[in-house]
Structure 1
Amino acid sequence: MNVDEILKQVPVDDIAKRFGVSPEVARQAVHEGGATLLGGLAKNAESGEGSAAIEKALNRHGGFAGASSVDDVDQADGEKIVTHVFGERKGEVAEKLNKSEKTAGGIDFGKLLPILAPIIMGILANKSKGSSGGGLGDILGGLLGGDRSSGGSSGGGLGGGLGDILGGLFGGRK
């Protein structure tokens, strides 16, 4: 799975309309926001306690079939996910994304991340159910560009300015 597979399940055109931006700006924002959420999940999954909490959350989001509009997304649930992933730094994460040169264009990540979070959790839940072996770490590693099970790159990683954002927030990890 790569970022393009995730983008197919996100209502990018609806997000563009909601935020009053072009589909290209919305697509880039979804890419950056999704990458940041996945990076935060990967960081949380490094601890046994965090991994268990993520697995439990994934069980609640299984069976997700995609969202055709922003109205299909439980944004209150998304807010809880974002708070859990980033904790007290959630505002800082949104602000850094808002200031990113790649995503300059009128998207408020404080409002976008709670839309993306349930979609991404649903996608990961479905992916983890179909996964044989490695579990959450391998799925997140593959999405972030470093397939941990084979030691290679999946080719569809979520990179760019993400390393700078997450590195600053999580103590230099890129």
Structure 2
Amino acid sequence: MTSFDDLLSQVPVSQIATKLGVDEATANTAIKAAIPVLLGGLQAKASNPEAAAAIEGEIAKQPDDLLDGGVDIEQVDVAGGHQIVDQTFGTEKNTVINALGDVGGAGNDLMGKLMPMLAPIVLAYLGKKVMGGTGTGTAAQSGAGGLGDILGSLLGGATGGSGNASGGLGGVLGDALGKNAGNVLGNVLGGLLGGKK
């Protein structure tokens, strides 16, 4: 079963904390805030078939064995992660990072470094779910519906709820992040969702 906790369990918190020069508690708080936002951005993009195909193209680029036996942060393509974050949030990237920087006292600089580390891990996880674990499927195999459904399920799990996050993305993010950051990010992601039809 796809679950937010399962995705979180793939993230090497201690390695990321070391990389970022923070303690594990700070890294963990930042990771738990950043992943729902990444998922929300991807879901907003996945509602557009062309963008969904691009996401699946990025998913297919992730190493099949990235999640096997626990992620080694040194194997994560952070440069590729920057590209994924840029593609996902576009001109709103800085707004997203600034809003996330207010969560749990993690600074903008920390979030700016963290998001590109997490993006390839999230995509590799989606690859396992969308492509049935082979990582070599095509966009035609699963389609935007499959990807959107998985993202919706993960977002529901992020807040302990269920249902389609695109309906109330601000609410989902508000629950996950605290109302102010959630509202800002909900508006940004809502704009991505509305603007890419």
Report the counterpart of residue 92 of structure 1 in structure 2. Answer: 95
Runs of 5+ in structure 2 lacking a partner?
134-140, 157-161, 165-171
Instruction: Find the aligned partners of 1:38 and 1:64 in 2 and give their Cα distance.
Output: 21
| Equivalent in the alignment of 1:144 | 155
Counting matched residue pairs gives: 163
Is the aligned partner of 1:61 residue 2:62?
Answer: yes
Q: Deviations over 1:95-137 (max 9, x none)?
A: 111122xx21456111100000011000001111228975111
Unaligned runs of 5+ in 1: 149-156
TM-score by length of 2: 0.73
What TM-score results when the alignment is normalised by the length of structure 1?
0.81
| Residue type of the alignment partner of 2:40 | G
Q: CA deviation at 1:47?
A: 1.3
- Which residues of 2 match residues 1-174 of structure 1 at below 5 A? 1-61=2-62, 63-66=64-67, 68-100=71-103, 103-106=104-107, 108-130=110-132, 135-145=146-156, 146-147=162-163, 159-161=175-177, 163-171=182-190
Change (3 A) 1:62 1:30: same
Q: Deviations over 1:5-56 (max 9, x none)?
A: 1122111011112223221221121111111110000000111221121122
CA RMSD across the alignment: 2.5
Bigger Cα displacement from structure 2, 79-88 vs 10-19: 10-19
CA distance in structure 2 between the partners assigned to 1:59 and 1:163 by the alignment = 30
What are the superposed Cα offsets for residues 146-166 of structure 1, whole Å, 9 maximum, x if unpaired?
Answer: 455xxxxxxxx8741264242
- Secondary structure of the structure 2 residue equivalent to 1:135: helix
Percent identity reads 39
Q: By percentage of residues, which structure has more helix?
A: 2
Aligned amino acid, residue 166 of structure 1:
L
